[in-house]
Amino acid sequence: MATAAMPTRDDFAALLDQSLGESQSFEGKVVKGRVVAIENDLVVIDVGLKSEGRISIREFTPPGQPPEVAVGDEVDVYVDRVENAHGEAMLSRDRARREAAWDRLEKQFEAGERIDGIIFGRVKGGFTVDLGGAVAFLPGSQVDIRPVRDVGPLMGMSQPFQLLKMDRKRGNIVVSRRSILEESRAEARTGLIQSLAEGQIIDGTVKNITDYGAFVDLGGIDGLLHVTDISYKRVGHPSEVIAIGDVVKVQIVRINRDTQRISLGMKQLETDPWEGAEAKYPVGGKFSGRVTNITEYGAFIELEPGIEGLVHVSEMSWVKKNVHPGKIVSTSQEVDVVILEVDGEKRRISLGLKQAQRNPWEAFAENHPVGSTVEGEVKNSTEFGLFIGLDGDVDGMVHMSDIAWGVTGEAALALHRKGEVVQAQVLEVDVERERISLGIKQVSQAGASTAPAGGGDFRKNEIVTATVMENRDGGIEVQIGEDGPTAFIKRGDLSRDRDEQRPERFQVGQKVDAMVIGFERGKKPMLSIKAMQIAEEKQQVAQYGSSDSGASLGDILGAALNKARESN
What angle do the packed helices 529-544 and 553-567 form, to 10 degrees? 90
- pLDDT value of position 520: 67
Q: What is the pLDDT of residue 170?
A: 84
Q: Quick one: fold of 112-182?
A: OB fold (Dihydrolipoamide Acetyltransferase, E2P) (2.40.50)
pLDDT tens digits, 386-444: 999 988 888 999 998 888 877 777 778 888 888 888 899 998 888 888 889 999 888 87
Question: What percent of the chain stands above pLDDT 70?
Answer: 86
- The residue among 63, 68, 71, 77 whose CA lies nearest residue 31 is 77
Matching CATH number, 36-111, of 2.70.70, 3.90.1720, 2.40.50, 3.30.70:
2.40.50
Residues in the chain: 568
277-356: which CATH topology? OB fold (Dihydrolipoamide Acetyltransferase, E2P) (2.40.50)
Residue 300 pLDDT class (50, 70, 90 cuts): very high
Question: Which of the 8 DSSP states describes residue 387?
Answer: E
The 10s digit of each residue's pLDDT in 103-146 is 888 888 888 888 999 999 999 999 999 888 788 999 999 988 88
Q: Mean pLDDT across the stretch 377-386? A: 88
DSSP E strands: which ranges in 177-319?
A: 201-210, 213-217, 222-226, 247-256, 261-265, 286-295, 298-304, 307-312
Q: How far apart are the C-alpha atoms of 179 and 162, rounded to whole Å?
A: 7
Query: For residue 190, is pLDDT > 60?
Result: yes
Confidence class of residue 550 from pLDDT cuts 50, 70 and 90? very low
pLDDT of residue 512: 92
Positive or negative: CA dihedral 545, 550, 555, 559: negative
Domain ranges of the chain: 36-111, 112-182, 196-269, 277-356, 364-439, 463-544
Q: How many CB atoms lie within 10 A of CB 237?
A: 12
Cα gap 175→139, rounded to integer Å = 8
Most confident of 2-6, 38-42, 190-194, 431-435: 431-435
pLDDT of residue 57: 77
Strand order in the sheet with 90-92: 53-56, 42-46, 29-39, 74-81, 90-92
> Per-residue pLDDT for 85 more than 70?
no
SS3 547: coil
- Give the pLDDT band (50/70/90) at residue 55: confident
Confidence of residue 60 (pLDDT cuts 50, 70, 90): confident
Q: Which amino acid is at 314?
A: S
Strand partners, 436: 429
Query: Which of 35-49, 354-368, 454-468 has the highest average model confidence (pLDDT)?
Result: 354-368
Q: Is residue 186 over pLDDT 50? A: yes
How big is the CA angle at 185 (ends 182 and 188), to the nearest 5 degrees? 150
Q: For 364-439, which CATH superfamily applies?
A: Nucleic acid-binding proteins (2.40.50.140)
Report field, pTM of the whole predicted structure over 0.85: no
- The highest-level CATH class for domain 463-544 is mainly beta
372 φ, ψ (degrees, to nearest 5): -80, 160
CATH tag, 196-269: 2.40.50.140
